[in-house]
Amino acid sequence: MYHVSLLPLHTPLSSPTESAILVGVVLPGLSRWDVEDSLNELELLADTAGAQVTDRVIQSLTQINPATYIGKGKVSELKGLVKQHNTDLVIFDDDLAPVQMRNLEKQLDCKLIDRSGLILDIFASRAKTAIAKTQVELAQLEYMRTRLTRMWTHLSRQKGGIGTKGPGETQIETDRRLIGTRIATLKERLEKIDKQRTTQRKGREQHTRVSLVGYTNAGKSTLMNALAGANVFAENRLFATLDSTTRLVNLAPNKEVLLSDTVGFIRKLPHNLVESFKSTLDEVRESDVLMHVVDVTHPRYEDHIRVVNQTLKEMEALEKPTLLVFNKIDALTEHGMVGALRMEYPDAAFISAQRGIGLDDLKTGLLGVIEADFVERIAYVPVSESKAISHIHQVAEVLAEDYMYAQIPDQEERPQAVARLRFRAAKKHAKDLSRLLDRFSNLTPIPSA
Ligand SMILES: Nc1nc2c(ncn2[C@@H]2O[C@H](COP(=O)(O)OP(=O)(O)OP(=O)(O)O)[C@@H](O)[C@H]2O)c(=O)[nH]1
Ligand SMILES: [Mg+2]
């Protein structure tokens, strides 16, 4: 155990600042470095939530203690520290089982929260829009439902603060049934919002949809602002964005796409959150193309890429055509890093969203990814089928259109006037178009003399 003194990176969200001790466990398969790193991130989360970390406690274990997660000796040591520093809050880097929470809280006589609880708390204090608030509340209630037996009655002197936001204060004493009812109401509300959003998205079908994804704080909102001249809130804190924003962006003359900025990912993102943020994350799920933004100045940026890919996989969005974007190259101190990365990732874009560096190359790269995702074909459609022709114009880009005659085989009828359309369509529309055009596949165009 050792003492670290840390300066807060920014003004805490809630005041007065609560003091916190972080607890991490080195389990088989993990190195001390992994855990230190995870605690660095936990400390940023704690800081974002408004706590000042005074100590870190790390224990190596071959297996966790079912009663208190960490060993008995470590619990006493932790208790000593809590007393000595008059600590407000102990934060575990791993998720604790309800029984472990209860036991630890009793023994430590201090507020206790795990990583998921902390992330939920941050989301609760940052949610601004009605939809984000509803989604966070649902995630918090789902999280609490399993931990209902844990009551903070012996901590009633604590008023507010981390871990007690949202439904925490008012509903902790209510029973599972009430929480169940509330969950059902919130789900219903979200379903309604979902339907509205799906309808809104339907209206945007003629545009290619691009979503910004990435680890929290990678610079997604800054890039959105740079590309769309938008005014999206961006700052050096985790989870600055909780809802999605969509804007039109011009990649080249006549090449407009719809760009969406949305919530960032983090390792061990609570499962409840991913589930509850369905409406927001549908933006990602339903996009045609993704831009995966990476903060290249972060020492663990490769881990971040993995975590983002893993989260995308869980959302079934990993297979989408993706442009990898290495951001913040202006702040790189290591010479030659961009060159080395270019060799490793020849298709990626290297930019500074903040300084506007590399944005033209990024647009070209994005156009390349989009175009690779298109199919080009020629179709013959009888001019009498005006509905089918206008459908093609709606979902595809018609490159050429002319008229001729065609014969229908096995029919004695005289040749019909047909339109010959050469068009490009996104792969997502290809199936639908094929089905439509199958009806006319037996036409034999008559070459003009
Ligand atoms: N040096 C440098 N900083 C940048 C750059 N782009 C963004 N930042 C900073 O990085 C921080 C995070 O930027 P955001 O745009 O809020 O990041 P985000 O990915 O939207 O983060 P969340 O919404 O929290 O997930 C801000 O302080 C930005 O000013 C860049 O190109 N260079
Ligand atoms: Mg953001």
Secondary structure, 3-state, the chain: CEECCCCCCCCCCCCCCEEEEEEEEECCCCCHHHHHHHHHHHHHHHHHHCEEEEEEEEEECCCCECCCECCHHHHHHHHHHHHHHCCCEEEECCCCCHHHHHHHHHHHCCEEEEHHHHHHHHHHHHCCCHHHHHHHHHHHHHHHHCCCCCCCHHHCCCCCCCCCCCHHHHHCCCCHHHHHHHHHHHHHHHHHHHHHHHHHHHCCCCCEEEEEEEECCCCHHHHHHHHHCCCCCCCCCCCCCCCCEEEEEEEECCEEEEEEECCCECCCCCHHHHHHCHHHHHHHHCCCEEEEEEECCCCCHHHHHHHHHHHHHHCCCCCCCEEEEEECHHHCCCCCHHHHHHHHCCCCEECECCCCECHHHHHHHHHHHHHHCEEEEEEEEECCCHHHHHHHHHHEEEEEEEEEEEECCCCCCCCEEEEEEEEEEEHHHHHHHHHHHHCCCCCEEECCC
**Least confidently predicted of 156-165, 172-181, 260-269, 376-385:** 156-165
User: What pLDDT, on the 0 to 100 scale, is given for residue 244?
Assistant: 82
User: What pLDDT, on the 0 to 100 scale, is given for residue 142?
Assistant: 85
Span 372-389, mean pLDDT? 88
Closest approach atom of ligand 1 to CA 216? 25
Residues 140, 77, single domain; the answer is: no
Residues 441, 321, single domain; the answer is: no
User: What pLDDT, on the 0 to 100 scale, is given for residue 17?
Assistant: 83
User: What pLDDT, on the 0 to 100 scale, is given for residue 173?
Assistant: 56
More confident residue, 136 or 166: 136
For atom 30 of ligand 1, which residue has the closest CA? 328
- Most confidently modeled range among 149-153, 363-367, 376-380: 363-367
Most ligand 1 atoms within 8 A of CB, residue of 128, 212, 221, 267 to mutate: 221
Query: Can you give the residue range of the structural domain that contains 408?
Result: 374-446
Residues 227, 354, single domain; the answer is: yes
Q: Does residue 216 have a pLDDT over 90?
A: yes
Residues 283, 368, single domain; the answer is: yes
Would you place residue 152 in the very low, low, confident or very high pLDDT band (cuts 50, 70, 90)?
Answer: very low
Give me the chain's average pLDDT, please: 84
Ligand 1 site residues (CB inside 6 A) read 214, 216-222, 234-236, 238-241, 264, 327-328, 330-331, 352-354
Of 331, 351, 372, which marks where a domain is finished? 372
Of 372, 391, 415, which marks where a domain is finished? 372
Residues 233, 210, single domain; the answer is: yes
Would you place residue 11 in the very low, low, confident or very high pLDDT band (cuts 50, 70, 90)?
Answer: very low
User: Is 200 among the domain residues?
Assistant: no
Of 372, 402, 432, which marks where a domain is finished? 372
Residues 246, 349, single domain; the answer is: yes
Most ligand 1 atoms within 8 A of CB, residue of 217, 259, 307 to mutate: 217
What proportion of the chain, given as a percentage, has pLDDT over 70? 88
User: What pLDDT, on the 0 to 100 scale, is given for residue 151?
Assistant: 44
Taking the centre of ligand 1 as the mean of its atom positions, its distance from the CA of residue 217, in whole angstroms, is: 5
Closest approach atom of ligand 1 to CA 357? 31
User: What pLDDT, on the 0 to 100 scale, is given for residue 161?
Assistant: 65
More confident residue, 246 or 414: 246
User: Is 199 among the domain residues?
Assistant: no
**Least confidently predicted of 98-107, 202-211, 434-443:** 202-211
More confident residue, 121 or 198: 121
**Least confidently predicted of 47-51, 66-70, 279-283, 333-337:** 279-283
Number of domains within the chain: 4
Residues 300, 417, single domain; the answer is: no
Q: Does residue 164 have a pLDDT over 70?
A: no
User: What pLDDT, on the 0 to 100 scale, is given for residue 13?
Assistant: 40
Residues 384, 432, single domain; the answer is: yes
Q: Does residue 348 have a pLDDT over 70?
A: yes
**Least confidently predicted of 29-33, 172-176, 221-225, 285-289:** 172-176
